[in-house]
Chain A
């Protein structure tokens, strides 16, 4: 699997969900794409995510992101159908609405306030949500325990089998003619005479355009093509149980049952640097909250825990940007590679293929927002 010397229209650096979604979208549009990826051992958020297609509570401080997310959730059924047609794989997308459970009155009040402030923002893309009390929640989630005082519910929320999404994207990429190059970590990216040369330990890949989709690796790669990508790893830990009969009809932001029957319990938010090790106090806290929400979860066995690294910006919103000094270089980075997968395939990829991220849609996501001197 040595790197071919041929030239591609686009080299996508990173074969995770973001890179694979964009590569898939590009290839479906007839673009010749190579995806350069790391090997088996990589810090892959795509293997560690919680698999929610999630809308509620996103966009505090950047209302455009709420709209972007709503749009992404809306495009999802189309992506699921296309991937099913291309690969035969059922991604088990379900968008029945989702819950955020509160374990005290204080938590519920805090939740209520946050959603109110979110929706009161100017330019906010408003959508339905509801604050429910215990009995309303109980009617929809009969397994909740007495400590659940209430919840917020948003009908736009859902979830998917994200590992199958990952596999489907890779299968579909291959079928759409994308050249996937594992064990080709990008070491250097150079811009010369209107084209890009990406150096890897297994040789060089040339392309007319380059898309940085390397997660936290984008911070290092960006400056090579005139892009500033201030991202940092943020650790999240997840606990998974053995398979059990279906008991949960709706995803909860920290508890969801997969189509296979396992129950995922998540997920911490830790500023721990690039350390992806699991810590018992954290997973114990995750288990504790989950059992308080759904007491009968206590008897299930845990079969796996893991820690993964989110790709986080200072304000928590994604960066989509294009280079001024190296035209044809783009960056796409976010911590919601599942929720935004359809957006990346159907909105971001065509823009990249056309050679420009339209300002009216993407300006707000440019990293230039971090360069503005802090306003009073």
Chain B
């Protein structure tokens, strides 16, 4: 299979993954799930301390989403993606040289309290027993449920950026970006660099956010993001029509999106014809595996999301299990790497108490502190507005089962207490995405309808398999006599 494109790095990873699937170790000291900045840094540090490390990742190459395709991007060396992206190459390089066993194309679908991982590689299910596990499952884009957000031609800004990084693809025709958050502006800058014309940016940042963010401005001024962020904003603002203070958005079209309607706080409204609408309003932790593994979720009122209940080093209430990086709460790529290292140090301390590398802890903590500077400012400035988190009645909240916000509030009126009961009644969260695209929206809608906080409402209880595996794969797993007996019926 490889003979046809011998030069492609991606293909060589595929080959490796085939080999490694067969040789997947049955037991390791440390399993790391996710090869983004947190997972790469954690695996590298732990392997360097002599632990046997297995790094599992769903994608074809290392980097996670932020450094997606860092070893294979067709835009190699070019200026389009910018230096922040390319800084991730070192993390990937170090990991590949670290001695950690890296398995791309590996989907982790379950993790037991006893730290046994269920992994699928190339359609084959495996079980791996780990002594410690670090989940570095990263973030996903916060759902942005506007009317028409399911139409072809509407995509997340992060998704469009993935196409740019991994395939050098940019949208054709008329393009509008809508929403808020650093990634939206970064993508706009990258598109401008690539010579892509943007019709407009519909900025949903609420004006009052500036006032709320101001007390945190000092931290931001001294953060690594400040200078770069400012330059980026300036560049985009100079080249693109920006419509600020947008309070409502609706995508229009029958088979595909053809236009976006908007209104602003200032009373301006309009309609822009377009071919591609890219939405973004920040990122939130990807919590499915952590919760299914038994880590409770807590509501983060500052970041408006649920996150696993872990401490600053990522330590969870489940013995031996840690969460690092944005999967534990959004802190950005630089912070994620340091949080990965902190979690790795905890694993090393448990398994190799005398390891010299443990002395690095103060430096890692200092680096983390620096990396997280300015985060509170960004959280407040780009806090998504209520109307974009709790959609209007006729808007689809659950994309998989096509359930509207109105159906959710009507069911709350029956006395439906929370998202798990709602799931039974409306099938929200029961589709293939397993609540990733609707969970926050549902909890927030129910909280509003009942006049309580999302913390009181709670979130879906998540269970394995957190990613689909085939019935045949499941059937291939080891089973004992008593298990077989318990499913036979007389």
Contact = CB atoms under 8 A, between A and B. Distances in A.
A contacting B, Cβ–Cβ less than 8 Å:
yes
Interface of A: 1, 37, 39-41, 44, 46-47, 57, 100, 107, 110-111, 114, 163, 166-167, 170-171, 174, 180-183, 239, 241-242, 253-254, 260, 265, 267-270, 277-291, 297-306
Interface in B406-460: 411, 414-421, 423-427, 430-432, 434, 450, 457-458
Contact of B471 (A41, A181, A265): A265
A269 B486 contact: yes
Contacts of A283: 474
B488 A180 contact: no
B480 interface: yes
Interface in B451-483: 457-458, 461, 463-465, 468-472, 474-480, 483
Contact of B424 (A167, A182, A268, A302): A167
A110 B490 contact: yes
Contacts of B471: 239, 241, 265, 287, 290-291, 297-302
Given A100-B489, A167-B425, A302-B469, 4 more contacts: A40-B421, A281-B478, A289-B487, A303-B432
Nearest to B418: A40
A40 B420 contact: yes
Given A284-B474, A288-B475, A305-B463, A174 B118 contact: no
Among B118, B450, B469, B470, residue most surrounded by chain A Cβ atoms (within 10 Å): B470
B46 to A, nearest CB: 26
Interface string B95-128: 0000000000000001011001010000000010
B1 interface: no
A93 B189 CA distance: 56
Nearest to B476: A284
A280 B489 contact: no
A346 to B, nearest CB: 23
A183 B490 contact: no
Q: Which 5 A-B pairs have the closest CB atoms?
A: A40-B418, A298-B472, A301-B468, A281-B483, A287-B475
B424 A239 contact: no
Is chain A's binding surface mostly helix, strand, loop or mixed? mixed
A268 B432 CA distance: 24
Contacts of A305: 463-465
Contacts of B468: 242, 301-303
Q: Which of B424, B463, B478 has the most CB of A within 10 A?
A: B424
B484 interface: yes
Given A284-B483, A301-B469, A39 B424 contact: no
Contacts of A239: 471, 474
A291 B430 contact: no
B489 A284 contact: no
Interface of B: 110, 112-113, 116, 118, 127, 411, 414-421, 423-427, 430-432, 434, 450, 457-458, 461, 463-465, 468-472, 474-480, 483-484, 486-490
B415 A301 contact: no
Given A111-B490, A170-B414, A288-B475, A40 B483 contact: no
Contacts of A107: 488
Contacts of A181: 415
B223 to A, nearest CB: 39
A285 B486 contact: yes
B424 A163 contact: yes
B489 A166 contact: no
Given A182-B416, A287-B471, A301-B470, A282 B487 contact: yes
Contacts of B411: 167
Contacts of B118: 280
Contacts of A254: 487, 489
A284 B464 CA distance: 12
Pick from B425, B468, B483 the residue with the most CB of A within 10 Å.
Answer: B483
Contacts of B458: 40-41
B477 A170 contact: no
A39 to B, nearest CB: 5
A254 B489 CA distance: 9
A111 B489 CA distance: 9
A287 B415 contact: no
Contacts of A299: 470-472
Given A40-B457, A107-B488, A280-B112, A288 B479 contact: yes
Contacts of B414: 170-171, 174, 180
Contacts of A171: 414
Nearest to A183: B417
A58 to B, nearest CB: 12
A180 B416 CA distance: 9
Most buried by B among A40, A44, A110: A40
13 contacts: A1-B415, A39-B417, A41-B420, A100-B489, A174-B414, A242-B432, A242-B468, A253-B489, A285-B487, A287-B474, A300-B470, A301-B432, A301-B471
A301 B466 CA distance: 12
A270 B426 CA distance: 29
A260 B401 CA distance: 10
From A170, A260, A278, A303, name the one whose CB has the most chain B CB atoms within 10 angstroms: A303
Contacts of B420: 40-41, 47
A284 B457 contact: no
Contacts of A180: 414-415
Contacts of B483: 268, 279, 281-282, 284-285
A147 to B, nearest CB: 13
B418 A39 contact: yes
Contact of B475 (A41, A253, A298): A298
A302 B487 contact: no
Contacts of B475: 284, 287-288, 290-291, 298
A138 to B, nearest CB: 21
Contacts of B430: 303-304
B423 to A, nearest CB: 8
A260 B400 CA distance: 13
A38 to B, nearest CB: 8
B484 A40 contact: no
A303 B415 CA distance: 28
B351 to A, nearest CB: 25
A107 B487 CA distance: 13
B325 to A, nearest CB: 26
Contact of B479 (A40, A167, A241, A281): A281
B465 to A, nearest CB: 6
B465 A302 contact: yes
A283 B479 CA distance: 9
Contact of A280 (B127, B415, B417): B127
